Chains A and B, each alone.
Chain A
Amino acid sequence: MAGTDPISQFKVKTLFSFGTIGADENGANGVDLVFTNSALFMVLTVGLIATYLILSTRGRGLVPSRLQLVSEMSYEFIANMVRSSAGTEGMKFFPLVFSLFSFILIANMWGMFPYFFAVTSQIIITAALALLVMAVVIIYGVWKNGFGFLKLFVPSGIPLPILFIVVPIEVLSFLSRPLSLSLRLFGNILAGHIVLKVFAGFIVSLSALGALGMFGSILPFVMAVALTGLEFLVSALQAFVFAILTCIYLNDAIHPGH
């Protein structure tokens, strides 16, 4: 059943449970502290990032080794992104952006392994990350600018009558940000994995038809290989997009006037 069903790969399976917290006396409404495959791959993601970054920079080499160079390049990459999009003041959010980028990138990459679980294909994960970003944007924006944060919705240099049209649009576009931020990542990873699975399923079902079918399955096989490459690209690109959009939204919080 799990062979060619493109949906079952997203199933969250319980590996073991730590018990339930916050339940009432009937044992209902609590949060199950189950350790699922989703949690496993979140732990693996964080473990990989932290282990790599900390171990590769252990030597603090003045002349970097190859492993250390990768850490430094990712640092500079994100630092340049934050600096160019959100300014020097945005650098205080650099650890957040770096954590988001590396978490999404590595989670996507774990998901590219066959039989592994793509954490970012769970809408609750992407929604939580997007809401985290928006919460940081709103809280920091209000804390820093006070009511000035509302200037975000009022573009300067626009005559009053047009403002009545523009402001609702701006508010709407701001409200749609967490939605688009979470759905983009979720949809890309979900769709990519489904398409991959569908083409891989074609190979299996065509091969079952005999010699001619096996010959015919070369076509979906080539497609599956090409799509795998594309999915690696999409995985990296979506992590980049998430990070750069975070920077742009943070820039709005820091400089709300257009």
Chain B
Amino acid sequence: MAEQDLTSSSILIAQAQTDTGNSEAQQPGNAAGTNDAVEEQVVQEANDAAQGITVVVEGSEVVAADPAVELHAETQGAYTEQEKSVFPPFDSSTFGPQLFWLALTFGVLYLLMSKIALPRIGEILEVRRDRIEGDLAEAERLRQKTDQAIEAFEAELAEARAKSHGIADETRAKIKSEMDAKRRDVEADLAKQVATAEARILKTKTDALANVDQIAAETAVAVVGKLAGKVSIKDARVAVSDVVKG
């Protein structure tokens, strides 16, 4: 307000201030201001006793006389100066039309929502839910079918495996018996050969042992002959056999 008092002496500065849209320009106190300032003054001046009521009256006369201000007043709508001071949301003159338009627009909105939009969205969601449930049921059915197929396949597989086991066992047994038979043959053969060989060895041994007696007797004859004179081969042989036996 102090700022405004300073400018009240100069019309030019006051004009500049109102042009910048400074809210200070609305403050009362600029009695001799420009038309703009006066016109705004009218709104708030009424209770400013310090500046004097007469100033306000003069101001409003200026407003009425000035065509530019009349234009400005037109843009304010049909409100009188007294109504201008009312806080706009509490201005009861606007209640009637606002209620009318609210009832109209909200009624239309409610009708559009309840009759068209919401049923449609609800239907879309319903259809989708049904479709998803149907698809899920179908998937479940297919899954069960797959499970059955897998079961059947596994049963068959187990059967085939058992069968193949049987065949393998059988084959193995057959091969084993064949091999056993062969082995028995071979073993018998070998045993026979071994027996023959043992008999031959025994014979050779007895022959050899017999020869040893002969050689020993002859050696004994020769040794005794050299040492003690003649000995019959027959005695020598008896002696040798005694020694061998003894």
Binding site for B on A (CB under 8 A): 1-5, 7-8, 10-14, 31-36, 38-39, 42-43, 45-46, 49-50, 53-54, 57, 60-62, 64, 68, 71-72, 75-76, 94-96, 98-99, 102-103, 121-125, 128-129, 132, 186, 190, 201, 204-205, 208
Nearest A residue to B94 via CB reads: A12
Q: Is the CB of A71 within 8 A of B88?
A: no
- Given A71-B121, A75-B122, A98-B113, decide whether A32 and B97 contact each other with a Cβ distance below 8 A: yes
- Taking CB atoms, residues of chain B closer than 8 Å to A38 are 94, 97-98, 101
Q: Determine whether the beta carbon of B21 is less than 8 Å from that of A39.
A: no
Report B-chain residues with C-beta under 8 Å of the C-beta of A62: 127-128, 131
A127 vs chain B, min Cβ distance (A): 9
Main SS at interface, chain A: helix
| Additional 13 contacts, C-beta under 8 A, given A32-B96, A36-B94, A205-B23 | A7-B87, A12-B88, A31-B96, A32-B97, A39-B101, A42-B101, A43-B101, A54-B120, A57-B117, A68-B124, A98-B118, A121-B89, A123-B90
Q: Count the A-B residue pairs with Cβ separation under 8 angstroms: how many?
A: 157
Quick check: B101 and A60 within 8 Å, CB to CB? no
User: In the complex, are the beta carbons of A36 and B98 less than 8 A apart?
Assistant: yes
| Cβ–Cβ < 8 Å partners of A54 in chain B | 112, 116-117, 120
Interface 9-mer from B102-110, B186-194, B217-225, B234-242: B102-110
For B25, what are the chain A residues with a Cβ–Cβ distance below 8 Å?
1
Q: Flag if B113 contacts A99 (CB, 8 Å).
A: yes
Contact B88 A11 (CB under 8 A): yes
Taking the closest CB of chain B, its distance from the CB of A96, in whole angstroms, is: 7
Q: Report how many residues on chain B are interfacial, defined by Cβ distance under 8 Å.
A: 48
Q: B108 — which chain A residues lie within 8 A by C-beta?
A: 46, 50
Q: Are B118 and A125 touching (Cβ within 8 A)?
A: no
By beta carbon, the residue of chain A nearest B115 is A95
Distance between Cα atoms of A8 and B76 in the complex (Å) = 10
**Closest approach, in angstroms, between the C-beta of A139 and any C-beta of chain B?**
16
Chain A residues, Cβ within 8 Å of B20: 3, 204, 208
Neighbouring B residues of A4 by C-beta, 8 Å:
21-23
A166 shortest CB reach to chain B, Å = 35
In this complex, what residue of B is CB-closest to A126? B89
Instruction: Decide: B40 and A1 in contact? CB cutoff 8 A.
Output: yes
| Given A53-B117, A98-B113, also A128-B99 (CB < 8 A) | yes
| Nearest 8 interchain pairs by C-beta | A3-B21, A95-B114, A39-B101, A53-B117, A10-B88, A31-B96, A42-B105, A12-B94
- B153 close to chain A: CB less than 8 A: no
Contacts A45-B105, A62-B127 given; indicate if A125 touches B98 (C-beta within 8 A): yes
**What CA separation (Å) do A46 and B108 show in the bound complex?**
8
Question: Are A122 and B94 in contact, CB atoms less than 8 angstroms apart?
Answer: yes
B77: chain A residues within 8 A (beta carbon): 12-14
Residue pairs across A and B with Cβ atoms less than 8 A apart, 5 shown, are A35-B97, A43-B101, A49-B109, A72-B124, A72-B125
**A124, B20: Cα distance in complex, Å:** 34
Complex: A3 Cα to B26 Cα, angstroms: 11
Question: How far, in angstroms, from A64 to B125 measured CA to CA in the complex?
Answer: 10
* Cα(A187)–Cα(B87), bound, Å: 13
Task: Give the CA-CA distance A142 to B97 in the complex, in Å.
Answer: 31
Contacts of B78 in A (CB 8 A): 14
B30 shortest CB reach to chain A, Å: 14
Name the interface residues of B11-59: CB closer than 8 Å to any CB of A: 18, 20-26, 40
Query: Complex: how many Å from CA A201 to CA B116?
Result: 45
- In the complex, the chain A residue whose C-beta lies closest to that of B39 is A1
User: How distant is A72 from chain B, measured CB to nearest CB, in Å?
Assistant: 6
For B90, give the chain A residue with the smallest CB separation: A123
